Structure 1
């Protein structure tokens, strides 16, 4: 008699909002509340002051100084709009950097480079070959940053890179320069010819030297980050229009760009600055000891002639939010039939061995639980490599996290959509999780339309599904490059593209293991 296949009955559940821990062990769900009332988690004496540098044009640096002086004091929340009777709950006044982060904030930058010529930047950006244009523009910043960093005995903890609006407009892959404004450059070799040279190199290598420019991305931010990795220089890139939106207006008198209110900008840039200086703004509260989360990162370069050739890396995150990026081996990881990335057994083992080794160094022992998050599934060979890299004391679990393929919408009575943390379990090891939705603390939903869930599926190893869902929900709250209530995706997946883009934006050299703050 044939066995009947077990049918799972879908069920709804709601996960409580993960709490964050701040100074003196205080716990709240919203980062701005915790920093405003208690300050950052841990011993604040570990980071008594912020030492930052600033690089930009004279006008850009002047705008930064004015903004820096405002950061030292109280910045109130915006007045209610004409259609609102009350202040929106997500707005929290910024009490001043020292009050929020318990660290001194220097109004006058300790390290300053204001020698960048705006006219030179503008002309360089208008070079017809976009790879050459962006690389030479990045050269201006990198050469000065490296020179100054090497000259100083006490180098800054990180640098604010203040960019003119032209850099943002023309320093991105899809940016174009009007034909009548283009400037001739030195590179005559086309990208197609550079790609062909990989298969048929020349005898003397002259063309190869010119083709080198195509190994650098046409994205200013990504290329800058990538080229500074080997120099161990941390940066916070900020547009002049963010610091002084009123200085940039159209002929009609309206600002050329709409930005967030000053208090929100202060919270976001202040949190990023504190983290990049070496501080820890908050951490997840009540987390199981010995837990380690790993997000897999894959990226293909435009220059390679082999469609399967890709770069792989692993992002390791701990419960306290600390992150490290490990570069793995380059190889034929992209599968053209399934459109997914998969490592072979050896590469998978080597990558996770680096992760476990770093965790063991930090905690004097291996993790009790290691969760590997990926957008794709795991092959048998790949999982064999991951598992063999861990000892018997570590429970390894493979979790696939992706946008839901089902066009499923969930509604509830009232003005607002489904509550964040709602989950629809559709299998023993599979659920749809709404990480976006109505947030009681904010008394609103921050999105523009009905939120979509993410798919969370335990594909390998064993762990209670509800535990996995709670972990994923918590990992949406440790983005230290902003000060939001939450992101839609967990940090293990949220920054995968950003990290991957940096990894392929310039030739990689040096240490294959660096803290996460170098990449964001």
Structure 2
């Protein structure tokens, strides 16, 4: 058995702590705060939604205390940290009045659109309402906001997801008459004049509001933070019994999470991993199949590049027959593999005036010989290329220990020279608790290609569970290279892609 120390995070003045909220509360974000003196954000929503956002924005400027202990809580819950106010935590001004406002969305029109029987048409038309206004406003402004808060009514959340349904009596007719099955047939046998194909284009858009909105705004380079009205003002939405329609986290926790996301999407860097080896670069491979194609092997691919400071860039690769129906795994051919990593190395070289000394490729599946030759050909002799498979190991092994709490986070069981099970979740001494609902499960970490000490790889993976800037948690269970692979892939297949193939990670989350 091995135990890996909890990775340290770096904050302002070079201070090191393990919990993001501690570091931001005591010291502030890492780096030079003068580069981001104020947060320039916009908000779009219905009049009521924007009104609720304004009230919440006012609260972000001040101190928000931790919740009082509940009947089943301890007197002190160390995971809770008061929110000191945005300026105190992030050393940047927070406008209590949104600098840019779009409040022309009609809630009745949104709900009527969401009730269209064809779900692809319903969600696409709903997204149209937001996208058209955001693009028009961004083009009109000389100095556009750094990002937009998109405040959505609860109906958008309820009916803007793939498995959502509208009751038959509530459905309204749309304009699309062609079926999804017919749309797939047209890919193999197109018509002479293309009229059916134009109507079938609606099926290129996903039935998930969030993913489609993100996808369609990529080419416009508009960053968004989507938030439900019920998150901002849960007390405004109650059942007949008087209870809130949904349970949300306490106001301080919401402020920490949304404040961190806002600071990051505005261009700030909340924290970074401390004492990281110079010249290291991590890449997570992303694959996603679309249900809209008639070829089951057809999939998109992408690479997420993450640097030591936590900054991420997504590179969109080529579409192709990457899904292997026999093994149920994704693999690139040599040329596609080379081109994908060539983009990564090129961007790293541009940022650092030289190629990485270490490049770790993280993937859920193994690497074929042909694929690895492609990756290797994109790297020079000065780069040590290492391929790491990170997979679920929920059913492989359960560890228990005496006492009230489970195995300590950072515990590892080495199975061989190049393979170990790593517990990235578990009891956390700083929090004096385990935040999960069940016995912690390990992940499998296996060095499949290249050479690097296993303990170094494990320590890197553990560190990469701590740089989720879309939240402000102590850690995630999966490293950021794998954690967001599905989310990025979902965005890539949610609308036709014809924009910039390289964009910062913040556009996708």
- What TM-score, normalized to structure 2? 1.00
Say which is worse superposed, 146-155 or 402-411, in terms of deviation. 402-411
C-alpha separation between the residues in 2 aligned to 1:140 and 1:85? 47
1:455 paired residue number: 444
1:383 paired residue number: 372
C-alpha separation between the residues in 2 aligned to 1:356 and 1:407? 36
The match for 1:416 among 375, 388, 405 is: 405
The match for 1:201 among 190, 197, 205 is: 190
1:6 paired residue number: none
C-alpha separation between the residues in 1 aligned to 2:499 and 2:177? 30
1:406 positional shift: 4.0
C-alpha separation between the residues in 2 aligned to 1:267 and 1:204? 54
CA offset digits 1:421-480 (Å, max 9, x no partner): 000000110000000000000000000010100000000000000000000000000000
2:130 paired residue number: 141
* Matches for 1:341-490 after TM superposition, within 5 Å: 341-404=330-393, 406-490=395-479
The match for 2:490 among 498, 501, 506 is: 501
The match for 1:303 among 277, 292, 300 is: 292
1:405 positional shift: 6.0
1:83 positional shift: 2.3
1:137 positional shift: 0.1
Say whether the 8 Å CA contact 1:335–1:342 is kept in structure 2: yes
Say whether the 8 Å CA contact 2:394–2:441 is kept in structure 1: no
Q: 5+ unaligned residues in a row in structure 2: which ranges?
A: none
1:85 positional shift: 3.8
1:54 paired residue number: 43
1:190 paired residue number: 179
1:202 positional shift: 0.6
Say whether the 8 Å CA contact 1:78–1:87 is kept in structure 2: no
- What TM-score, normalized to structure 1? 0.98
1:35 paired residue number: 24
Q: 5+ unaligned residues in a row in structure 1: which ranges?
A: 1-11
C-alpha separation between the residues in 1 aligned to 2:101 and 2:438? 44
* Matches for 1:213-252 after TM superposition, within 5 Å: 213-252=202-241
CA offset digits 1:371-420 (Å, max 9, x no partner): 00000000000000000100000000000001016431001110000000
Say whether the 8 Å CA contact 2:272–2:467 is kept in structure 1: yes
The match for 1:336 among 310, 321, 325 is: 325
1:64 paired residue number: 53
1:86 positional shift: 0.9
* Matches for 1:67-146 after TM superposition, within 5 Å: 67-146=56-135
C-alpha separation between the residues in 2 aligned to 1:277 and 1:331? 35
C-alpha separation between the residues in 2 aligned to 1:66 and 1:406? 46
SS, match of residue 104 in structure 2? strand
SS, match of residue 292 in structure 1? strand
2:255 paired residue number: 266
SS, match of residue 169 in structure 1? helix
Task: Confirm whether residue 517 of structure 1 aligns to residue 496 of structure 2.
Answer: no
SS, match of residue 45 in structure 2? strand
1:510 positional shift: 1.6
CA offset digits 1:79-105 (Å, max 9, x no partner): 001123413110000000000000000
1:75 positional shift: 0.1
1:504 positional shift: 0.2
C-alpha separation between the residues in 1 aligned to 2:368 and 2:111? 49
1:262 positional shift: 0.1
Say whether the 8 Å CA contact 1:79–1:87 is kept in structure 2: no
* Matches for 1:143-182 after TM superposition, within 5 Å: 143-182=132-171
1:5 paired residue number: none
